[in-house]
Every structure is written in structure tokens, then in C-alpha cells.
Amino acid sequence: MPSFLQAVILPERCFLSEALLWIAFQRLPLSEFTFDGIQIRDSTENNGYEPAPFDRMLFLEETTRAGIPTDPRFVSATDKGTNPHDRYNELADKHGHDEALRIVQEVQRESDQRFERDCVTWEPYYQTAVEYPASQIFVALKSGRIHATCRLLPCMDPLEALAKLDGDDVQVPDLPPQKIQPSFWSLNRMLKKPIGGSDFY
């Protein structure tokens, strides 16, 4: 199969979760812009909050390249199975509304449970694949070779902090970005909250 190259624009900064996907799975963080020409990572849209780190679903070529099983989220997203609405219509003609609805709900429940089991089974493969890349990012942050910024909340508890900001009529994007000092980074802290779940950038 032929390969095609595409010119892309890289952002000046990205979330740490994006950096992890870049190193572990060679997924480049790409610049995306709002209709006003604002880089999406700097946007204050979405009810006044900056967008969360981008979707972490891994595509088939990414998991294949990393030598791990296919991401269950990708399998679910590309599933060509019967649409629940179509299944209901087929069953309703034969069994009536109540029975058709019961069958569709039961099938969906079993599908959801299978998906959750698949995700639990797949997670260790993912963690193994990102372990070394995450350690490289940690060493780079701790040594000051790369830098991260954050917005400092008024207290540790996120809900309490948001409530306090709301009382002061302040939105999170109104807080000035601050450089995180290398001394902040702790391996123990990062093990409790992995890079993949961090909103630092």
C-alpha cells in the first residue's frame, strides 16, 4: 500500500498527554484553530474552560507499530454491527414493542460489559507501551530540558477551587499561566497521576 506525506502545522506547545502519544506512538500533536483563528489549546470556548487533552483513542496503525493489541475503543468506534434502532425495528415487527425493547437493551448491556472487560484486559498492554516514554518525559521535566506551564488554583481540591473562583467571578482561563519549576516534578506524584491523565502543557 502506498504512503502519502502531508504537510502539517505543529503547535508551539501541547499537553503532556499529547507528548506521551508523540513519543510512544509517533502521533504528532497538530495545530487546530477556532473560527476566530485562535489556536485551540489557547481557546477559552467550551463554557469558559480550555479544551481537555485530546482524544487518546489509539488507531490501528499506532497499536500495531507499538506491538500491542488493538485499542478496544477503536474496535468499538469501527464496529459495523447492526444499529440498535434497526435491530429494534426488526424485532418489533415480530415480537412487539416491549419484547423488542427488552432484547435490544439486553444486547446493549452485554456489549457494554464486554467492552469494559476488554478495556481492563487491554490497559496493562498500554501501560507497558507508555512506561519508558513516560519516564523519558519525567527525566526531561525534572532536569529542566523541557518546560511545562499551568494555571495555579487557589486550593488543592479541584471542586473547592472552582467554587472559590466562581465566587470571585473568575474563570480558570483568567488565571495567568505559570512556569512549573523542575523541582515540582516528583516520580511518586506522577505514578499516582500518570502523564496520560495530566492537563499540564
Is the pLDDT reported for residue 195 higher than 60? no
Residue 43 pLDDT: 66
Is the pLDDT reported for residue 114 higher than 80? yes
**For residue 1, is it within any domain?**
no
Residue 9 carries which DSSP code?
-
**For residue 128, is it within any domain?**
yes
Cα–Cα nearest to 193, from 26, 49, 185, 27? 185
**For residue 4, is it within any domain?**
no
User: What is the residue whose three cell numbers read 516534578?
Assistant: 185
Residue 200 pLDDT: 44
Residue 156 pLDDT: 82
**For residue 172, is it within any domain?**
yes
**For residue 97, is it within any domain?**
yes
Cα(117)–Cα(2) distance, integer angstroms = 36
Domain, as residue range, for 110: 16-197
Which residues, in sequence order, are CB contacts of 195 under 8 Å at separation 6+? 16, 17, 19, 20, 130, 134, 137, 138
Residue 188 pLDDT: 74
**For residue 9, is it within any domain?**
no
Q: What is the DSSP secondary-structure string of 22-69?
A: HHHH-------B-TTS-BGGG--TTTTSPPPSPP-PPPHHHHHHHT-P
Using DSSP's 3-state secondary structure scheme, residue 82 falls into: coil
The per-residue pLDDT for range 83-105, each reduced to its tens digit, is: 767 676 677 777 777 777 777 78
Structurally, the chain folds into a number of domains equal to 1
**For residue 3, is it within any domain?**
no
**For residue 116, is it within any domain?**
yes
Mean pLDDT across 120-139: 93
The per-residue pLDDT for range 134-164, each reduced to its tens digit, is: 999 999 999 999 999 888 888 888 889 889 9
CA 105 to chain centre: 28
Asked if residues 24 and 62 have their Cβ atoms less than 8 Å apart, the reply is no
Residue 55 pLDDT: 64
Which residues, in sequence order, are CB contacts of 20 under 8 Å at separation 6+? 130, 133, 134, 137, 195, 196
Cα(63)–Cα(164) distance, integer angstroms = 42
